[in-house]
């Protein structure tokens, strides 16, 4: 994440922190010299940084940590300009980042990714933007449709409280469950009409199609978790139906679907198919007395 913020030019205003005063340059040096040894920086601050899901967890802490540390310093200087009695300590570093998320561009982009421990609904699962995107991808996979990357980002931004630019914090306009229900009503139910009522009631297509998926998994000897509900053409015939007599949409029963699976090209590569072929060949030999 590029550090593209310009430090305040007034070096007479300093950050008050743990009984000492620092210019922004000195504040940055403090991180460089104590990142590995200071208990707060190496544990609490590091956890805050990476648990947010905003920065790359594979990036070195002395790089991404310095970026965030500098932004905290710029924010603290702005607070000091407004109130010369402002004092920064370990607690206000953490709380300051959260409070600045909706009011200060230095920390707004990062703050929008933080887990909000002050949610009004304490029973609601608190997620970061990264969590939400992963959750929605999984939700789409288990409900037989695809969410574009642009939509994933847009929905996640609305849930964590970020504007369209993905950086400027704002008040959250949605919840994860509301987003899922909207997809159920507008995308999943209309697509998979035979399950529409259950889908609208909150059921996932993966659970509703369990029998079909289980049969395919057993017959084709594949991991059921890797069967793509949205893209597998064979499963599509069972879930979406096919044109029957008079153009009416029909759905295969369990026995019919089993026959369809065994006619699929993938079935001939299974151990079951090879055993069947071997058994048939043996019976033919017996008929001819071989």
pLDDT tens digits for range 269-286: 888 767 665 454 445 545
What number of other Cβ atoms are within 10 A of residue 96's Cβ? Answer: 20
- The pLDDT, as a whole number, for residue 109 is 52
Arithmetic mean of pLDDT, 68-90: 83
Long-range CB contact pairs, 5-13, < 8 A, 24+ = 5/70, 5/71, 5/74, 5/106, 7/70, 7/74, 8/74, 8/77, 8/78, 8/81, 10/81, 13/77, 13/80, 13/81
Alpha-carbon distances of 107 from 21, 74, 259, rounded to whole Å: 21, 9, 59
Q: Pick from 107, 108, 151, 116: which is nearest to 133 by CA?
A: 151
3-state secondary structure of 269: helix
d(CA 271, CA 281): 15
Specify whether 137 is located in the same domain as 185.
yes
Residue 73 and residue 35 in one domain: yes
Give kind and range of the element (H or E) at residue 100: helix 90-100
So what's the pLDDT on residue 250? 87
Query: In which band, very low, low, confident or very high, does the pLDDT at 208 lie, cut at 50, 70 and 90?
Result: very high
By DSSP bridging, strand 242-243 and strand 20-22 are unpaired
For the chain, count helices (H), then strands (E): 16, 4
Regarding whether 177 and 98 lie in a shared domain, the answer is no
Residue 8: pLDDT band (50, 70, 90) is very low
Per the document, the length of the chain is 290
Same domain (yes/no): 38, 73: yes
Residue 181: pLDDT band with limits 50, 70, 90:
very high
Beta-carbon contacts of residue 229 (< 8 Å; ≥ 6 apart): 141, 142, 143, 144, 205, 206, 209, 213, 235, 239
Q: Answer yes or no: is pLDDT of 139 > 90.
A: yes
Mean pLDDT, to the nearest integer, of 19-46? 84
* pLDDT mean over 86-103: 69
Looking at the structure, tell me whether residues 101 and 168 fall in a common domain.
no
Residue-number span of the structural domain to which 161 is assigned: 129-191
What percent of the chain has a predicted confidence (pLDDT) above 90?
Answer: 25
In-domain check, residue 27: yes
> In terms of Cα–Cα distance, which of 100, 95, 136 is closest to 117?
95
Same domain, 42 and 88: yes
- The pLDDT value given to residue 52: 62
How many domains, in total, are found in the chain?
3
Tens-digit pLDDT profile for residues 35-55: 778 888 877 777 667 666 565
* Lowest-pLDDT range of 21-35, 119-133, 254-268: 119-133
Q: Has residue 32 got a pLDDT over 70?
A: yes
pLDDT digits (tens, 9 = 90+) for 222-260: 899 889 999 999 999 899 988 877 778 888 888 999 999
């Amino acid at each position: 994440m590029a550090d593209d913020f310009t430090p305040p030019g007034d070096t007479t205003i300093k950050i008050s922190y743990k009984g000492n005063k620092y210019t922004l340059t000195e504040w940055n040096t403090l991180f460089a010299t104590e990142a590995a040894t200071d208990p707060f920086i190496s544990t609490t601050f590091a956890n805050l940084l990476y648990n947010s899901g905003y920065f790359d967890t594979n990036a070195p802490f002395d790089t991404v940590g310095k970026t965030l540390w500098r932004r905290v310093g710029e924010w603290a200087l702005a607070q000091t300009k407004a109130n010369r009695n402002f004092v920064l300590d370990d607690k206000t570093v953490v709380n300051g980042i959260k409070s600045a998320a909706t009011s200060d561009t230095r920390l707004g982009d990062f703050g929008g990714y933080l887990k909000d421990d002050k949610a009004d609904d304490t029973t609601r699962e608190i997620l970061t933007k990264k969590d939400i995107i992963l959750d929605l991808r999984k939700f789409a996979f288990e409900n037989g449709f695809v969410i574009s990357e642009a939509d994933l980002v847009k929905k996640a931004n609305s849930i964590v409280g970020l504007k369209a630019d993905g950086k400027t914090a704002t008040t959250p306009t949605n919840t994860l469950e509301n987003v899922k229900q909207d997809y159920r009503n507008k995308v999943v139910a209309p697509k998979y009409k035979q399950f529409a009522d259950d889908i609208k009631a909150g059921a996932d297509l993966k659970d509703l199609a369990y029998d079909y998926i289980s049969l395919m998994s057993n017959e084709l000897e594949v991991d059921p978790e890797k069967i793509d509900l949205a893209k597998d053409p064979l499963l599509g015939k069972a879930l979406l139906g096919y044109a029957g007599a008079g153009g009416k949409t029909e759905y295969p029963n369990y026995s019919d679907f089993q026959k369809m699976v065994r006619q699929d090209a993938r079935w001939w590569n299974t151990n079951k198919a090879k055993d069947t072929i071997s058994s048939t060949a043996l019976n033919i030999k017996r008929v001819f007395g071989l």
